[in-house]
């Protein structure tokens, strides 16, 4: 599914260039009761969970990357439990006020495994709870496609260069992203990591069907965490909020 096995401190630097953490936190907190409990599917280094804890919430984060989970556990934050394991095989008897899957993690899940995950997610919600999905849309893949690319990121004294090769399988709508990461830390030490991940194209109609088949009603759809509507031409992120069907 993915091979995100490089130090979490470098992922934090890369993530900042793509995400609006304040907007994400405001959006998620707006769906929670006081002292609500959350489940973060694909929590990465725990960035979203730590911000929610600052506002009085608690939760569980699950991620497939041992490196990212180790980094998350080393960041001080009370009220968070982290689980290293497959997000498509995760099981729990606990119930939550909010279950969310952000940063296009949904696109990393093979399509055949989505129905089972969403059906389980419905069972993880408390009455009145919500599911939030953040997926990359079709034109976001098509417009940004380049067979090879170089990207640079920096912050906290760290400089990262990503050498990216993308291979498309049109029959399976799969994007294979192969990356070499060169990272220079604050002390000037340079390290190199190999990283890969597969992504699958997903569209709004497909998600609508999957949610309905899994026992959800769609209650909101947005083009970003600031509450903007989805763009009419179908490009950019797609934020969907669903609740258990009556």
CATH number of the CATH domain containing 187 = 2.20.25.110
- The sign one gets for the Cα dihedral 241, 3, 89, 208 is positive
> What pTM does this model have?
0.95
Q: Dump pLDDT digits (tens) for 169-185.
A: 888 889 999 999 999 99
87-115 pLDDT tens trace: 999 999 999 999 999 999 999 999 999 99
Buried b or exposed e, range 204-230, using 16+ CB within 10 angstroms: beebeebbeebebebeebbbbbeeeeb
Residues 33 and 118 placed together within one structural domain of the fold? yes
| pLDDT tens, residue by residue, 6-15 | 999 999 999 9
pLDDT at res. 234:
67
For residues 186 and 216, membership in a common domain is answered with no
User: Please, what is the angle between helix 66-73 and helix 8-16, to 10°?
Assistant: 90
Same domain, 80 and 181: no
Are residues 84 and 21 both part of a single domain?
A: yes
Q: Is residue 94 located within the same domain as residue 177?
A: no
Phi, psi (deg, nearest 5) at residue 9: -65, -30
- Asked if residue 2 belongs to a domain, the reply is no
In this structure, are 44 and 30 located in the same domain? yes
Q: Which two tokens stand for residue 47?
A: 């960035």
Same structural domain, 116 and 62 = yes
The answer to whether residue 1 sits within a structural domain is: no
- Domain of residue 129, residue span: 8-138+202-244
Banded pLDDT at 230 (limits 50, 70, 90): confident
Report how many domains make up the chain.
2
Torsion of CA 205, 216, 141, 65, to 10 degrees: -160
Residue 154 CB contacts under 8 Å (≥ 6 apart), including other chains: 13, 160
């Amino acid at each position: 599914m993915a091979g995100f096995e490089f130090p979490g401190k470098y992922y934090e630097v890369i993530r900042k260039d793509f995400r609006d953490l304040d907007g994400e936190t405001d959006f998620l907190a707006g769906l929670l009761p006081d002292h609500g409990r959350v489940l973060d599917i694909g929590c990465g280094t725990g960035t979203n969970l730590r911000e929610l804890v600052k506002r009085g919430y608690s939760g569980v984060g699950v991620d497939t990357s041992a490196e990212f989970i180790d980094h998350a556990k080393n960041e001080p934050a009370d009220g968070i439990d982290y689980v290293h394991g497959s997000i498509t095989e995760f099981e729990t008897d606990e119930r939550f006020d909010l279950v969310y899957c952000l940063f296009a993690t949904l696109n990393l899940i093979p399509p055949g495994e989505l129905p089972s995950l969403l059906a389980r997610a419905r069972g993880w919600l408390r009455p009145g709870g919500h599911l939030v999905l953040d997926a990359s849309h079709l034109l976001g893949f098509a417009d940004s496609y380049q067979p090879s690319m170089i990207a640079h990121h920096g912050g906290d004294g760290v400089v990262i260069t990503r050498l990216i090769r993308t291979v498309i399988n049109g029959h399976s709508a799969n994007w294979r992203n192969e990356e070499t990461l060169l990272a220079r830390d604050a002390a000037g030490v340079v390290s190199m990591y190999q990283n890969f991940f597969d992504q699958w194209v997903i569209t709004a109609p497909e998600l609508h069907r999957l949610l309905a088949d899994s026992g959800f009603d769609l209650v909101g759809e947005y083009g970003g965490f600031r509450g903007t509507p989805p763009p009419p031409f179908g490009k950019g992120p797609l934020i969907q909020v669903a609740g258990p069907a009556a």
